[in-house]
Chain A
Amino acid sequence: MYLPLLWLIPLLPLLACVINALAGKRMGKSFTNVWAVGSVWASCIFALYFVVAYVPYAPRAYETLAPFYWFASGQLHLQFGLLLDPLSMVMILIVTFVSALIHTYSIGYMADDPGYNRYFCYLNLFVFSMLMLVLGNSFLTLFVGWEGVGLCSYLLIGFWYDRQSATDAGKKAFIVNRVGDWAFVVGMALTFYVFTPRVSFGDGLRFGPVFQTVISVAHSPGGLTGSLRLVPAIAVLLFVGAMGKSAQLPLLYVWLPDAMEGPTPVSALIHAATMVTAGVYMVARCHVFYLASPGAMTLVAWIGLATAFVAATTATVQTDIKRALAYSTISQIGYMFIGAGVGAFTYSIFHLMTHAFFKALLFLGAGAVIHGMHNEQDMRKMGGLHKKMRPVAIQMGIAVLAISGFPFLSGFVSKDLILGAAAGTNFWLWFMGTVTAFITAFYMCRLWLMTFWGEEHWQDTLRHAAQGDHGAAEPEGEPELHPTPAVMLYPMWVLAFLSLVGGAAYWALNSFLNPIFGDYGSAPERQAFAPEWTMMLIAGIVFFIGAWVAWIHYGKSNVEPKAWMKKNPGVYDFLLRAWYIDYYAHTAFAIGGEMAARAAYEDIEVMGIDQGASNGLARGALSIGRQFRWAQTGVTADYALAMAFGVVCMVVYFLLR
C-alpha cells in the first residue's frame, strides 16, 4: 500500500478546480467535464484502491504528513497531514462516490446554465475541502476543510448571484455557520491549551496523541484530572460547531431551508450527503472526548432528538419540494446525533451512509422533476407525474421507502439500529424517535404522492408558464415535460440500487468500524427494555401506519391547504414556519443586529467621530481664526503701526531693564 497516494484523493479535485478556473471557460464544456467529473471519479478509484490495500491492516491508523511545515514558531510546529483509518476510509468512500455521481448528474442538469464552468470549479473546490475535512489527521487540517466547505456552500448557494433571495441565503448560511465555527475554534484553542504540554512533537491538535492521552488517563482510577477536566467543555464547544455545520436546533439550522436557493445538485451534494454530515463525522472522530463526558453525550442525544422531531413536524406542511427535503435532512441528521449521543457511533456513521444514498437520490429526483416542470417547485402544481416520468417516479419511490423505513431497506436498518441503541439508554429517546419515524414516513409518502400520483395539475401549470413566457398567445398542442437526459438518470439508478440494498453493509461496517469505537462498546442496545425483534416489528408497523395516513389524505388529490389547516390556521402557520424559530432568530439577530449597527454608525461614527472629533476640530480652528481676522485690514499703514508699536515696546523694555 503506497500511502502518499492518499494525497491524490483530495488534490485531484483541487487541481481540476484550478485548471477549470484558468482555462475551462474558453476550452468548452467537454474540457470542463473531463477535468471536473473525471477528477472526482479518479479520486473515487483511488479511494477504492485504498479499500483493497488497507483492509488487511485495519484497524491500525496510518498518517502521512506534508513535507513542509504550515507554520513553525518557536516550539510550535504545525503540519498538514492525512489520516487513514477505518472511519476516514468509510467517509472518503461515501464522499467520493456520491460526489462523482452528482458531478455526472450535473452535466445534464446544468447543461443550459451560463455559469457551467464556474459551477464545476466551486463543486470541485467543495470536494477538495470535504476530503481534507474527513482525511485530516489533526484538528487543524480538519478545520481547514471545515472552513472550506462553508465557503463553497456560500458560493454555491448564491450561485445565481443576480437573484437577491439567493445571495441572501448564501450570506445567511455563511454567517450562521460562522457562529458555529467560533465555538469550534474556542474548542480547538482549549484542546491546544490542554494537550500541548502533554504530548510530544509540541502539536496539541493531532488526533492520535490527543485521543491517546485521554484514553490512558480516563482508564486510570482518578479519571480526568488537572486541565483534562476541560475535556467536557471542549466536547460541548466542538458540538456547537457541529450544530452549525449540521443544521441542528435550536438556532443554527436556520440556514438550511433557505439554502435550497442553490442549484438542486448542490443541495444534493452539500446539504444532504456531505457537508451537513461533517458535524456527525467530527463527533465520531472525537468520540473519545464525548465518551469521557457523559453530560456532553446527553446534550448531543437530546438536541438530536429535538431537532429530528421539530424538523419532521415542519416538513409535514411544506409545499415546496426542496424545502420539504431540507427539513427532512435536518431531521435525519438529528437521528445521527441521537446515535452518537448514546454511544452508537458505528450506527451513526451507518445512518450517515444510507442517508447519503437516499437523500442524494431524493434531491436528484426532485431536480429531475423541477427540470421537467420547467423550474416549478411547488408540489401542489404537480401531481400524476408517474405517467410521464416513470423512471424518476420509481427511483424516488425507492428513496421514499428507504427514508421512511420500509422494512429491510437501507434506511430501515440504520434507523432501527439507532433507535435500538437509544432504547438502551432512555425510553423517551426511543419513543419520541419512533414517533418521529412515523411522522417521517407520513411526510415522505405525502411528498411522493403529491408529486407523482393523484390529480394532474402539471398541464395547467406548464400552460400558464408557457403563456407567461410567450405572451398571452394560445400555445399549440399539449404542454410537454422537459425530458430527463440519461446522464441524469444513470447516477440516480445507482443510488436507487444502493438505497435498496445498502442495509447489507451492516455486517461489513460493524466489523470494520467497531474496533475504533470499541473502547466503551458501541452497542448499548444490550440494555434495551425489549428484545431486538420487537423493536424491528414496531418500526415496521410505524412505517405502514404513516404511509397509510399519507395515502388517505394525499392519495387522490394534492390540493393544499386541507380543511383542517383552514380550521386551525394557528397550528398550520406554526408548523409551516418551523415553530417560528427562524422568525424569532431573524428578529433578534438580523433585525437587532441591524439596529445595533445602525446605532453604531449614526450615533457613534457620524455624530461622535465625524461631527464631534474631526469636524469639531475644524470648526474650532475656524472660529479661533475668525477672532483674529479683524487684525488683517489690508491697509499697509496699520501693519506699519503694529511694527512701530513692537519696536517701542522693545525699547521701553531695554530701557527699564
Chain B
Amino acid sequence: MLNYVPVGAYLVMSAVLFTVGMVGVLIRRNALIIFMSVELMLNAANLSFVAFARMLGQIDGQIFVFFGMSVAAAEVAVGLAIVIALFRNKQTTDVADINILKW
C-alpha cells in the first residue's frame, strides 16, 4: 500500500539541503564550489515552496519556483563573470586570498 510522503519530510529535506549549502558557503575555499553551495541553498528553498504548494493545494508556490529558478540562473551568470574577472586579476580561485577589503 502506498503512503503519501508526509509534507514534513519534504520540509526537513529542504532544511537539510539548506544547511549543507550554507555550511559549504562558509567552509569551502574554491569559489566555484561556493557557487554550487549557493545553488544548493536556492534549490532547497524551491523545494520548500513546492512542498507547501502541495500542502495548501494552491499553485502559487510552484509559480514562485519559476521566479526563484530564473533568479538563480541570472545570479550564476553574473557571479561567474565576477569569478572570471577575479581570476584574471589574482590568478586564483581561493577566496581566502581575496582579503583586501579591510582596514
User: Footprint of B on A, CB under 8 Å?
Assistant: 629, 632-637, 640-641, 644
Asked if B26 and A635 make an inter-chain contact with CB atoms under 8 angstroms apart, the answer reads: no
- Name which of B53-61, B72-80, B92-100 contacts chain A: B92-100
Q: How far is the CA of A634 from the CA of B103 in the complex (A)?
A: 9
Q: What CA separation (Å) do A637 and B29 show in the bound complex?
A: 8
A634 and B26 contact, CB distance less than 8 A: no
| 14 further A-B pairs in the complex, CB-CB below 8 A; given A629-B103, A634-B100, A637-B96 | A632-B101, A633-B99, A634-B98, A634-B99, A634-B102, A635-B96, A635-B99, A636-B95, A637-B25, A637-B26, A637-B27, A637-B28, A640-B26, A644-B26
Query: Please, how many angstroms separate the alpha-carbon atoms of A644 and B24 in the complex?
Result: 12
Interface CB pairs A-B, < 8 A, 12: A632-B101, A632-B102, A634-B98, A634-B100, A635-B96, A635-B98, A637-B27, A637-B95, A640-B25, A641-B26, A644-B22, A644-B25
- In whole angstroms, what is the CA distance A635 to B101 when docked? 8
In the complex the two chains form, is A635's CB within 8 Å of B103's CB? no
Residues of chain B within 8 A of A640, CB atoms compared = 25-26
Write out the residue numbers on chain B whose beta carbons fall within 8 Å of the beta carbon of A632: 101-103
Shortest B71–chain A CB gap in Å is: 19
Bound Cα distance from A632 to B98, whole angstroms = 12
* Residue ID in chain B nearest A645 by CB atoms: B26
The contact of B95 among A629, A635, A641, A644, by CB within 8 Å, is: A635
Q: Bound complex: CA of A641 vs CA of B37, how far in Å?
A: 14
A352: min CB distance to chain B, Å: 78
Report the separation of the CA atoms of residues A268 and B45 in the bound assembly, to the nearest whole angstrom.
104
Q: Which residue of A lies closest to B99 (CB)?
A: A634
Q: Which residues of B contact A (CB under 8 A)?
A: 22, 25-29, 34, 95-96, 98-103
- What B residues does A644 contact at CB under 8 A? 22, 25-26
Q: A654 to chain B: closest CB distance in Å?
A: 15
Q: How far is the CA of A208 from the CA of B100 in the complex (A)?
A: 85
Measured between alpha carbons, how far is A448 from B28 in the docked complex, in Å?
108
Complex CA distance for A633 and B103, rounded to whole angstroms: 9
Contact at A633–B26, with CB atoms within 8 Å?
no
Q: Give A224 Cβ to nearest chain B Cβ, in Å.
A: 78
How would you classify the secondary structure of chain A's contact residues: helix, strand, loop or mixed?
Answer: helix
How distant is the Cα of A463 from the Cα of B49 in the complex, in angstroms? 116
Nearest-neighbour CB distance to chain A for B95, whole angstroms, equals 6
Residues of B within 8 A of A635 (CB): 95-96, 98-99
A633 partner residues in chain B, CB cutoff 8 A: 99, 102
Chain B residue numbers with a CB within 8 Å of A629 are 103
Q: Looking across the interface, which residue of chain B has its beta carbon closest to that of A634?
A: B99
Residues of B near A636 (CB, < 8 A) are 95, 98, 101
Alpha-carbon separation in the docked complex, A635 to B29 (Å): 10
Tell me the nearest residue of chain A to B29, going by C-beta.
A637
Which A residues touch B26, using CB under 8 A? Answer: 637, 640-641, 644
Contacting residues, chain A, for B103 (C-beta < 8 A): 629, 632
Chain A residues with CB below 8 A from B101, complex form: 632, 634, 636
Contacts of B25 in A (CB 8 A): 637, 640, 644
Chain A residue nearest to B38 (CB atoms) is: A640
Closest partner residue, chain A, to B25 (CB atom) = A640
Collect the chain A residues with CB atoms within 8 Å of residue B102's CB.
632-634
In the complex, A644 Cα to B27 Cα: how many Å?
Answer: 12
CB distance from B48 to the nearest CB of A (A): 14
Cα distance A90–B65 when bound, in Å?
111
A629 to B96, CA, bound (A): 18
Nearest chain A residue, comparing its CB with the CB of B27? A637
Give the shortest distance, in Å, between A648 (CB) and chain B (any CB): 9
Chain A residues within an 8 Å CB radius of B22:
644
Cα distance A637–B99 in the bound complex, in angstroms:
10
Residue of B nearest to A629 (CB): B103
Q: Give min CB distance, B96 to chain A, whole Å.
A: 5
> Which residues from chain B contact A641 at a C-beta distance below 8 Å?
26
Query: CA–CA, A644 to B103, complex, Å?
Result: 23
Q: A636's closest neighbor in chain B, by CB?
A: B95
User: Which A residue's beta carbon lies closest to that of B94?
Assistant: A635
Closest chain-B Cβ to A313's Cβ sits at a distance in Å of: 77
Q: Cα distance A636–B38 when bound, in Å?
A: 14
A631, chain B: closest CB distance, angstroms: 9
Q: Which chain A residues border B95 with CB–CB below 8 Å?
A: 635-637
Report how far A361 CA is from B25 CA in the complex, Å: 104
> With the chains together, A644 CA to B95 CA distance in Å?
18
Residues of B within 8 A of A634 (CB): 98-102
CA gap between A635 and B22 in the complex, in Å: 16
- In the complex formed, the residue of A with least CB distance to B28 is A637
Distance in Å from the Cβ of A632 to the closest Cβ of chain B? 4
Q: Give the top 5 A-B pairs by smallest Cβ distance, nearest first.
A: A634-B99, A634-B102, A632-B102, A641-B26, A634-B101
CB distance from A627 to the nearest CB of B (A): 13
Interfacial chain A residues near B99, Cβ < 8 Å: 633-635
Q: How far is the CA of A640 from the CA of B22 in the complex (A)?
A: 9
Distance in angstroms from B89 CB to nearest chain A CB is 15
Q: Which chain B residue has the least Cβ–Cβ distance from A632? A: B102
**Which residue of B has the minimal Cβ distance to A625?**
B103
- In the bound complex, how far is the Cα of B25 from the Cα of A641, in angstroms? 8
A636 to B99, CA, bound (A): 8
> Smallest CB-CB separation from B34: which chain A residue?
A637
Q: How far is the CA of A629 from the CA of B93 in the complex (A)?
A: 26
A637–B95 Cα distance when bound, in Å, is 8
Separation in Å of the B8 CB from the closest CB of chain A? 16
**Shortest Cβ distance from B101 into A: residue:** A634
Nearest-neighbour CB distance to chain B for A652, whole angstroms, equals: 14
Q: Tell me the smallest distance from the CB of A326 to a CB of chain B, in Å.
A: 70
Assembled-state Cα–Cα distance A632/B100 (Å): 10
Once bound together, how far apart are the Cα atoms of A149 and B29, in whole Å? 86
Across-interface contacts of B29 in A (CB, < 8 A) = 637
The distance in angstroms between the C-alpha atoms of A440 and B34, with both chains bound, is 108
Report the separation of the CA atoms of residues A621 and B33 in the bound assembly, to the nearest whole angstrom: 40
Question: Which of chain A's residues have a CB closer than 8 A to the CB of B28?
Answer: 637
Q: Which residue of A lies closest to B26 (CB)?
A: A641
Inter-chain CA distance A634–B94, complex, in Å, is: 13
**A629, A632, A634 — most chain B CB neighbours (10 Å):** A634
Task: Kindly list chain A residues whose C-beta atoms are within 8 Å of the C-beta of B98.
Answer: 634-636
Q: Kindly state the separation between the CA atoms of A637 and B28 in the bound complex, as whole angstroms.
A: 8
On chain A, the residues within 8 Å of B34 by CB distance are: 637
Closest to A626 in B: B103
Select from chain A the residue with minimum beta-carbon distance to B23: A644
CB distance from A118 to the nearest CB of B (A): 60
In the bound assembly, the distance between CA atoms of A313 and B60 in angstroms comes to 116
Determine the distance from Cα of A238 to Cα of B44 in the docked complex, in whole angstroms.
97
In Å, the complex CA distance between A4 and B80 comes to 97
Query: In whole Å, how far is A637's beta carbon from the nearest beta carbon of chain B?
Result: 6
Q: Chain B CB within 10 Å — which of A629, A633, A635 has the most?
A: A635
